[in-house]
Amino acid sequence: MSSDEYNRLAELAVGIGEQESKYGTSKRYKAKSYMPDWMISMFRGPNAARSRGMTQIKVKGDNSEMRDIYSELGINPNSINRPETSAIATMARLAYMYNNEVKGRNFQGAQNT
């Protein structure tokens, strides 16, 4: 990945952090972060993947290749709640998507194009 590509993904990651949790300061994000798993299961079902971290990534909901990347980076549902780990997870996920879907031309939009 080139430096320019990385910088564009970093800008996107910052935007995602602002949109999803107001950089960890939104009341909704804070309330959701402290809510126990059993309570989330009541609303979403027992097998629903839970969004975590400042960019609200579903670590357990990603494909097996991405879960392996998270594991290599030491990212799990608990560690992703730390801002620095959330940032690493976000960049890893965006880089994976960019390299495999955008650059690889495998991305398909709503119209399968």
Across 55-82, average pLDDT: 94
Q: Is the pLDDT of residue 111 over 80?
A: no
Report the distance separating Cα 108 and Cα 100, nearest Å. 12
Across 39-60, average pLDDT: 85
For 41, the token pair is 């299961």
The distance of Cα 14 from the centroid of its chain, to the nearest Å, equals 12
Q: What is the DSSP letter of 17?
A: H
pLDDT band for position 38 (50/70/90)? confident
Residues 6+ apart with CB under 8 A from 22: 29
Residue 105 vs residue 73, higher pLDDT: 73
Residue 49: predicted pLDDT: 80
Q: How many CB atoms lie within 10 A of CB 86?
A: 25
Domain boundaries, the chain: 3-102
